[in-house]
Structure 1
Amino acid sequence: MTVLSWLAVAVFLASYALIATEKVHRVAAALGGAGVMLLIHATGAESAFFSEHSGIDWNVIFLLTGMMIIVGVLKETGVFEYLAIWAAKRARGRPFRLMVLLVIITACASALLDNVTTVLLIAPVTFLVCERLAVPVVPFLIAEVMASNIGGAATLVGDPPNIIIASRGGLSFNDFLIHMAPMVIVLVAVFIGLCWLMFGRRFRYDAERAAEVMALREREAITDRRLLWQSLTVLALVMAAFVLHPVLHYEPSVVAVLGAGILVAATKVTTEQAITEVEWPTLVFFAGLFVMVGGLVETGVIGQLSTAAVQATGGRLETAALGLLGGSAVLSAVVDNIPYVATMSPIVAELVRAVGGDGPGQVLWWALAFGADLGGNATAVGAAANVVVLGIAARNGVPISFWHFTKYGLIVTVVTVGLVAPYLWVRYLM
């Protein structure tokens, strides 16, 4: 590697260390790292702001912005209070039953929506229901974001890296359903068991609080029925457009921004009210992170690491598939899985051709998808949904530290990736 490449690695590692140790605010660390990357010419304005492969992913930024606005308007209707009471009553006030219910809802929703949209919708419900039952909200938030990353792996639209993989590999929505969804169902079931081991035994059932919740009437929580129906109509159209992406060819970011604009224009909600719920620090953090990773892309660091990993397989399909699964999980834990997959997918495409084309070689795409999607659970910055939930938690006065999230994330990642390895071996490599 060149001197500039080593400098870029040093800047990234220093910024990552500041984020992990929380010596400075994560937004300051990301912006500072991005600034230094620009200062040393590891990347430039053209690459940082306009490059599809090494710049800020504006699709992610505007997808988040649009969905945050839609969720902010929905919040004005009281629907989250309604859902909180409904969920608590279905769980009969028992915390772990409630966690299982929310995990299943989150995983299923993430298969149809992208995982960021799902956590934006489920987080407000979680805060309200945990407040009602007087249980700590942090375990629920951590469980939900991990469920969203696992559930999102099931479909083409569930996780942004899957969209990149589908485009590069010529894979359809049904391909993901056939090859990814069956294992995802198993992983969700295993994850519920992990939730019991990590969180469930600590919960305490409060009979008095549960009785109070069971006596509530959820319909009374709705404060504006007209706005609710308007918001739900727009949200349904946005969800439908997400699912129909392969047919309509509208990017999720475009759909989200259009939905937000229509909702604000067609209702009595003011612009000021609409943007109140936008997590601006989270968006800025993403921008800084994208620029830092772009510096590694521009200097060839990520490309060299990926190429070296491919060469290490020696052309053996088994080694390539399992190495790609594990390597993707590790790298996606360190850098956001979106730019990682964007960088790695051309290399995987070449490797697929080298080992025999789309027939036997297609397992490499599933190894990349599983590794990137599940590896995103390992650390607080491994996936977009993680960063969004941490931002929401901090804004609501219950900050989740990098290491608090990561100590659970590493367990979940090791177990889930460990289960995928034999699945790939038995189904594709035997």
Structure 2
Amino acid sequence: MMILGIFENHIEAIKNYVDVNTIYLLMGMMIFVSVIRKKGLFEYLGIVTLKVFQKNGYVLYFGLTFIVALLSAIIDNVTTVLVFVPITLAITDTLDVDPLPFIFGEIMASNIGGTATIIGDPPNIMIASAAGLNFTEFFINNGPISFLNIFVMQLFTILLFKKKLNFKIDREKVKSFDPNSAIKNKKGFYISWLLLILTLLLFIFQHQLEMESSTIALFIGFLALLILDRNEVEEILKEVEWGTILFFFGLFIMTGGLVQTGVLKDLTQILVNIAGNSMRSFAMMLIGVAGVISGFVDNIPFTATLIPVIKNLQHINPSVFSDLNPLWYSLSLGACLGGNFTPIGASANIIALAMLKQFKNEEIKFLEFFKYSFFIVTINLILSAIYVELILI
């Protein structure tokens, strides 16, 4: 786009269209998660979950999926499944039960849990940055419906896999799992906990501290690196998904080109015409369209395309679209929840199913996955639409 001369000034194009807040937030959180993951914190949580929820298959399923959802609100979905899928497979091997319901539930939970916060899923990072939403404000609005959607998902999946989850757990087998075995270094483990708590506090009070999300993420990422892995800086930086970072950079330039050429302005007008210049109609349409499309294509470029479209609504009809917040949350809910529609809807889905195939030689076919997910995601999207309609508009 730059070579073709779409932008008059290349440096100005980068300044105007590349959202560095999103890029630095991703970078900082990737560094932070890479550091604390090596200290055994996530493995420890998984084993403790088994100890706490060892009554039967249903209770264990509820516990594992809830912890995955909770962690996905704090760290990215891919890291969550990378940590929890091996733990889950170890647990199901020990108990000699089918891992499929657990892996499927954790995929669902990771995408739903990521909806709750600005750092839970990349689309939320982009939306919060574009809309100027802070961590607390975003969580207050998206958190309640996320928890409701998690509960509904758990209920439906328990009904779907009723026979496979109907088993008692041998308490003697559970004793073989020792949470302390996950701790590689006690000092590093406790510092990881402190840094995680500090991260949450900084995000919660970022408005009062007058700090950008990216500043907090970079600070906490490099602080963790300095305290816990100062001698392994190069190794940690190799674990950062630089492909994703560069993908975002290029994506912002591409979207900027669509803005510059007026394509997005025309698209906005088409969507407004369909929705009939109504905030409610547009929000409902946004949840449905985002949900369906995100099930089949990556929700990151889709979100990047829709952000300037939503921003442009205030220029087309400032009286109707004076407050865009309901639309930002509608886009977030649709894009994040829609990732659960298919095995390719989100990166976490692909990775979790690949690990199931690699370690257990089991797989969930596309249509089988869709058969399970269709009703769950549809109900989640309907509940989200009702929530936006009643609470946010």
Band the TM-score falls in, shorter-chain normalisation: 0.7 to 0.9
Contact 1:374 1:413 survives alignment (8 Å): yes
* Corresponding letter in the other structure for 1:163: I
How far does residue 428 in structure 1 lie from its aligned partner after superposition?
Answer: 5.5
Cα deviation, 1:111-151, whole Å, max 9, x if unaligned, reads 34444454455444333333332233343233223223222
Match of 2:331 in 1: 368
Rounded Cα–Cα distance in structure 1 between residues aligned with 2:71 and 2:344: 22
Q: Secondary structure at the match of 2:38?
A: helix
Taking only the aligned residue pairs, the percentage that are identical comes to: 27
1:110 matches 2:72: yes
How far does residue 191 in structure 1 lie from its aligned partner after superposition?
Answer: 1.3
Q: Residues 233-312 of structure 1 correspond to what in structure 2 (within 5 A)?
A: 233-243=194-204, 247=209, 248-251=211-214, 254-255=218-219, 257-258=221-222, 261-262=225-226, 265-266=229-230, 278=239, 303=264, 308-312=270-274
C-alpha spacing 1:349/1:131, structure 2 compared with 1 (3 Å): same
Q: Secondary structure at the match of 2:374?
A: helix
Match of 2:372 in 1: 408
Rounded Cα–Cα distance in structure 1 between residues aligned with 2:370 and 2:92: 22
Contact 2:268 2:310 survives alignment (8 Å): no
Contact 2:54 2:169 survives alignment (8 Å): no
Contact 1:355 1:361 survives alignment (8 Å): no
C-alpha spacing 1:84/1:181, structure 2 compared with 1 (3 Å): closer
Rounded Cα–Cα distance in structure 1 between residues aligned with 2:384 and 2:155: 17
Structure 2 counterpart of 1:213, from 174, 178, 184: 174
Match of 1:7 in 2: none
Cα deviation, 1:308-329, whole Å, max 9, x if unaligned, reads 3333223133321211111111
Match of 2:38 in 1: 73
TM-score by length of 1: 0.69
Contact 1:85 1:213 survives alignment (8 Å): no
Contact 1:68 1:279 survives alignment (8 Å): no
Match of 2:385 in 1: 421
TM-score by length of 2: 0.75
C-alpha spacing 1:235/1:366, structure 2 compared with 1 (3 Å): closer
How far does residue 416 in structure 1 lie from its aligned partner after superposition?
Answer: 0.5
Match of 1:126 in 2: 88
How far does residue 355 in structure 1 lie from its aligned partner after superposition?
Answer: 5.6
Cα deviation, 1:182-202, whole Å, max 9, x if unaligned, reads 322322221111121233432
C-alpha spacing 1:374/1:51, structure 2 compared with 1 (3 Å): farther
C-alpha spacing 1:132/1:174, structure 2 compared with 1 (3 Å): same
Match of 1:6 in 2: none
Rounded Cα–Cα distance in structure 2 between residues aligned with 1:207 and 1:123: 19
1:226 matches 2:190: no
How far does residue 387 in structure 1 lie from its aligned partner after superposition?
Answer: 4.4
Aligned length: 381
How far does residue 346 in structure 1 lie from its aligned partner after superposition?
Answer: 1.9
1:98 matches 2:60: yes
* Corresponding letter in the other structure for 2:335: A
How far does residue 101 in structure 1 lie from its aligned partner after superposition?
Answer: 1.0
1:341 matches 2:326: no
1:194 matches 2:156: yes
C-alpha spacing 1:173/1:230, structure 2 compared with 1 (3 Å): closer
* Corresponding letter in the other structure for 2:128: A
Rounded Cα–Cα distance in structure 2 between residues aligned with 1:305 and 1:375: 21
Rounded Cα–Cα distance in structure 1 between residues aligned with 2:363 and 2:251: 23
Rounded Cα–Cα distance in structure 1 between residues aligned with 2:325 and 2:201: 29
Rounded Cα–Cα distance in structure 2 between residues aligned with 1:387 and 1:245: 33
Cα deviation, 1:42-97, whole Å, max 9, x if unaligned, reads xxxx99xx89969998658746752563255124xxx5554444222222252221
* Corresponding letter in the other structure for 1:73: K
Structure 2 counterpart of 1:378, from 320, 341, 345: 341
Match of 1:141 in 2: 103
Rounded Cα–Cα distance in structure 2 between residues aligned with 1:365 and 1:223: 42
Contact 1:334 1:382 survives alignment (8 Å): yes
Instruction: Judge which range, 148-157 or 94-103, deviates more.
Output: 148-157
Structure 2 counterpart of 1:88, from 50, 58, 82: 50
Match of 2:146 in 1: 184
Match of 1:331 in 2: 293
C-alpha spacing 1:245/1:148, structure 2 compared with 1 (3 Å): farther
Q: Secondary structure at the match of 1:338?
A: helix
Structure 1, unaligned runs of 5 or more? 1-36, 38-45
Cα deviation, 1:375-400, whole Å, max 9, x if unaligned, reads 12223343344345446556656575
* Corresponding letter in the other structure for 2:155: G
C-alpha spacing 1:98/1:389, structure 2 compared with 1 (3 Å): same
Instruction: Judge which range, 81-90 or 112-121, deviates more.
Output: 112-121
Rounded Cα–Cα distance in structure 1 between residues aligned with 2:185 and 2:169: 32
* Corresponding letter in the other structure for 2:295: A
Contact 1:153 1:369 survives alignment (8 Å): yes
C-alpha spacing 1:358/1:95, structure 2 compared with 1 (3 Å): same
Q: Secondary structure at the match of 1:74?
A: coil
